[in-house]
Structures are given as C-alpha cells and as structure tokens.
Structure 1
Amino acid sequence: MTASYAVREAVGTEDREACFAVRREVFVVEQGVPQELEYDTYDATAVHVLAVAADGVPLGTGRLLHGADAAGKTGGEASVGSLGRLAVAKAARGLGIGAALVRGIEDVARERGLSAVDLHAQTHALGFYERLGYVAYGPEFPDAGMPHRAMRRTL
C-alpha cells in the first residue's frame, strides 16, 4: 500500500458513498456492528471527511457533528463538535491516515467556529487519541456491544 493519499471534506454523492463503503468494511464486516446501527439520521447533516489514495481508492473516513446534531453527544455545548465513525481500511493502516483524518476533522471544526471536539472512543483506541491530545473523561460505557470512553480535545 502506498503512503500517497489526500484528506479532504467529502462532497457529493460519490464521496459520501466512498465514506460509507469504508465504514461498512471496517465496522459492519470487520467488527460485526449491525448495519442498522452503523448508519443513522446524522449522516445526512454531518460533515464527512475522506482519505483517498492517489488513484482515487477510498482509504479512510470520519465525520463531524456540530450544532444541534452534536448536542446529545457533547452535553448540549454548542461550541463543541462530535467526531465519530473514524475508520481506516485494513490495508491502509499504519500510514498515518487515522491521525490525518482526525486533524482534518479538527480543521473543519475550527472553520465552523467550534472550540473543542468530543468523541466516543473504543477503549482499545484510547492511546491513539491520547497521542493526538484527547483526554478521556467519565466512565466506560457500551456502544454497539463494545466498550467506549468519552474523550475531548480543546482546539
């Protein structure tokens, strides 16, 4: 797998379908998350970020909820966005794509005037997010049958 890729905001139907294809591969197929839990009403209004190889193959994705969509995930704080659905295709892991996606989502959050980003991390990924400046808070909780922790990074 090549290390040549770009991270950008997903625009249009084709980009959204590429984001959903990566999520399906990682969450539904690889991790066994039921498809009806993976896709939700937030997908229509979220800002999706996409990592693509130089040849156009989708490598990773993530999304940002903000405003009213993020309120339930951030305790109602209007200035805090919610990062979610971060996924990197198995063949593309280890290239820094996950970190680049997180930074891309943070850039989108700053552009929208947000002061912080929250997320719900699978517990096995806590170290990844901690290295990117996120701090865990609150107790562990289940989501889609897997243990998670809430985390936040001030922008």
Structure 2
Amino acid sequence: MTLLVKEDVSAYTVRIASWQDDILALRRIREAVFIHEQGVPAELEWDEFDVDCIHVLASDSAANPVGTARLLPDGSIGRMAVLREYRGKRVGTALMHRLLREAESRQMQQVTLNAQAYAIEFYKKFGFRVTGKAFLDAGISHVRMVLR
C-alpha cells in the first residue's frame, strides 16, 4: 500500500521497501543524515538487524528517495532519517504513520524507540511517552519512548 501525501506543489510517496532491493537508496539517506550530518561513526550505523527489519522509504514526485525508517521484529522503530531539504514537509510524519500501521497490522502491543532529544515532541504527537532518563548513543543525547 502506498500513501500519497501532497505538500504544496510537491508530492511524495511512502512505501514498504526491501533491504535487498532498495539498499542503495536506504543507505544513501542514512549516510547523509547520520554519518555526514550528525557524525555517527559508520561502524555504529550499520548492524545485523537491517536484513530482518521492515523498512519504509519516502520518495519525492520525481521518485528520488528522501526519507526512511525501520521497524524491528520486536516492535522497535529506528533509523528514522529525512534528507535536510525535505524536513518540515511532513515526510517524517508520513513515515511514522506507515510504520505504526504496519506495527498494528502485525498486532504489536507496544512500539518503542530511542528518540534523539530534539525529536521528543515529534514522537509525542503520535502518543509516545518518555520512559527513563537521557542517555548517549553515538555521542548524541537520546531518551527511550514507548507507545502502547
């Protein structure tokens, strides 16, 4: 199922992606956001979980990949990344809605994530609640959040 979202004159789509088939697009977005912008070491960005995750991919009206996120089998959302020029255009919101629909369809009773501190309010809009104190991950302040 593809969600079409229109934002002013631009449009983008959000779909379930295949790690195997869409690896170049998924990696390009995460490298741009996490490794280049935020300085996360490459060895911390890539893990063994990608092959088992449900990935979502947002593309603009010209089919250029602009955002991604993943849902682990245990109900954890992570690696939410939107290219800088597409931030503030509801791409992240569309990615979250798609992942939450997927979690619901899989009858997951709880969804968790480790939010970067600046993004806490974004996740609260979806009903996530902070559980616990701030911690550093890759040198960036995070908090654990839960949605039941």
TM-score, structure 1 as length reference: 0.86
Aligned to 1:26: 33
Matches within 5 A, 1:92-111: 92-111=86-105
CA contact (8 A) 1:3 1:95 kept: no
Distance 1:46 1:87 in 2: 15
> In the alignment, residue 141 of structure 1 is paired with which amino acid?
F
TM-score, structure 2 as length reference: 0.90
* Structure whose residues are more often helix by fraction: 1
Query: Of the candidates 78, 81, 86, which is equivalent to residue 84 of structure 1?
Result: 78
Aligned to 1:61: 68
Give me the identity figure in percent. 40
Distance 1:3 1:136 in 2: 33
Cα RMSD for the two superposed structures: 1.4
TM-superposed CA distance for 1:64, in Å, is 0.3
Distance 1:63 1:84 in 2: 5
Alignment CA distance shift 1:34-1:4 (3 Å):
same
C-alpha distance after superposition, 1:95-151 (max 9, x if no partner): 100011011111111122212210000111111111221110111111011111000
CA contact (8 A) 2:29 2:65 kept: yes
Aligned pair count reads 141
Aligned to 1:121: 115
Distance 1:12 1:41 in 2: 12
Runs of 4+ that moved beyond 4 A: none
